[in-house]
């Protein structure tokens, strides 16, 4: 069994790239240092912030909430509120909501559940059904992604948040990078930076503190802090998403050639260093009044096409 490179105790993690091993205590130290360094390097958070932590109740976002709550004890100007967007996917979301509620109550964390039903007028299940019956070409994840962003931004603004922190880790980022390349959505690549938006025009600044963390590292951090839900449930729409195939392929590559994920994320950072997305989000949606990159926002367009909104 590998021994911790720092203290010689049995290791719980070996860094596949440089071979360094860590015991429980030193892994947590390594992980937290790495995240703090990312926050500093990309100037993600100031001394006075109301941080809205986007949580799903799953392991990654619970790890982020736990980490930020721990760090906030040293930063008196921080306030933290967890926001969970409930898409309304039957049999899937209920368990993670319970997981968040339990953690929040035990640890005195403020939280809010913002649902599609409340903000959009229908659950994702209902929206998918309406789209199907009208023969619309969209996949469930397309509605889900657009509406989730919309609901999160609106709920965060209502709560007076100054910044939204999401738990996207390096695996998520490189998967999206490859997905965008595959679909020729080059402009979206420029939005995959560690920080997006500057808080102007109603879009709250978004930061990704786990940007340089591997998925297995954030999973282990969650496990070592007892944050993992007892039973993992996958979204029933997941198999429609190209992400899951890309994820498997990148993981296979990483197993054979450790360091591939770091290579991809560093390429992404080089590509995006001096460039901004070409479409500036300068509009206020003519229908709902929310910030948008077009005159009518994508959420309103979907609502219109699915019949949730009539003209």
The contact set with Zn ion (CB under 5 A) reads: 285, 287-288, 297, 300
Part of the chain binding ligand SF4 (CB under 6 A), chosen from 72-80, 172-180, 237-245, 270-278:
237-245
DSSP 235-302: -TTGGG-HHHHHHHHHHHHHHHSTTHHHHHHHHHHHHHTT---SS---EE-TTT--EESSSS-HHHHH
Among 235, 264, 299, 300, binds ligand SF4 (CB under 6 A): 235
Among 19, 121, 145, 289, binds ligand SF4 (CB under 6 A): 145
Report, in Å, the least distance between residue 310 CB and Zn ion: 15
Partner interacting with residue 144 (select from Zn ion, ligand SF4, none; CB below 5-8 Å by kind): ligand SF4
The tokens describing 233, both together, are 């449930």
Q: How far apart are CA 138 and CA 141, in angstroms?
A: 8
Contact assessment for residue 174 and residue 264, using Cβ atoms and an 8 Å cutoff: yes
> Quick one: which of 288, 22, 294, 299 has its CA closest to 145?
299
Partner interacting with residue 250 (select from ligand SF4, Zn ion, none; CB below 5-8 Å by kind): none
Report, in Å, the least distance between residue 127 CB and Zn ion: 15
Phi and psi for 280 in degrees, rounded to 5? -90, 140
- DSSP letter, residue 160: T
Nearer to ligand SF4, 138 or 283 (CB): 138
Question: Residue 113: enclosing H or E segment and its boundaries?
Answer: strand 110-115
Q: Is 144 in the site for ligand SF4 (CB under 6 A)?
A: yes
Q: Is 288 in the site for ligand SF4 (CB under 6 A)?
A: no
What distances in angstroms separate CA 268 from CA 132, 147, 193, one per listed residue?
A: 36, 26, 8
Q: Is 176 in the site for ligand SF4 (CB under 6 A)?
A: no
Nearer to ligand SF4, 91 or 199 (CB): 91
Residues forming the site for ligand SF4 (CB under 6 A): 87, 140-141, 144-145, 235, 237-238, 241
């Amino acid at each position: 069994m590998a021994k911790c490179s720092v203290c010689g105790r049995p290791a719980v993690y070996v860094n596949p790239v440089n071979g360094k091993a860590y015991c429980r205590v030193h892994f947590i130290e390594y992980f937290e240092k790495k995240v703090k360094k990312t926050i500093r390097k990309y100037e993600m958070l100031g001394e006075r912030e109301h941080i809205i932590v986007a949580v799903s109740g799953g392991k990654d976002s619970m790890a982020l909430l736990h980490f930020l709550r721990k760090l906030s004890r040293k930063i008196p100007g921080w306030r933290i509120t967890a926001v969970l967007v409930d898409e309304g996917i039957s049999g899937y979301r209920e368990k993670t909501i319970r997981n968040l509620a339990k953690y929040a109550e035990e640890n005195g964390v403020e939280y809010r559940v913002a649902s599609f039903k409340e903000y959009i007028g229908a659950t994702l299940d209902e929206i998918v059904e309406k789209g199907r019956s009208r023969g619309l070409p969209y996949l469930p994840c397309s509605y889900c992604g657009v509406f989730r962003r919309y609901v999160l931004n609106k709920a965060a603004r209502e709560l007076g948040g100054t910044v939204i922190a999401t738990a996207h880790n390096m695996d998520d980022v490189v998967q999206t990078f490859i997905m965008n390349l595959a679909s020729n959505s080059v402009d979206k690549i420029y939005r995959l930076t560690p920080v997006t938006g500057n808080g102007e025009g109603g879009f709250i600044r978004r930061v990704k503190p786990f940007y340089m963390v591997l998925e297995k590292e954030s999973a282990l951090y969650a496990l070592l802090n007892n944050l993992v839900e007892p039973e993992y449930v996958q979204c029933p729409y997941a198999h429609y998403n190209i992400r899951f195939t890309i994820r498997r392929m990148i993981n296979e590559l990483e197993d054979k050639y450790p360091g591939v994920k770091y290579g991809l994320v560093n390429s992404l950072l080089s590509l995006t260093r001096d460039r901004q997305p070409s479409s500036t989000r300068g509009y206020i949606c003519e229908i709902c009044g929310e910030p948008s990159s077009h005159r009518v926002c994508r959420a309103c367009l979907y609502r219109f096409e699915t019949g949730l909104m009539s003209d």
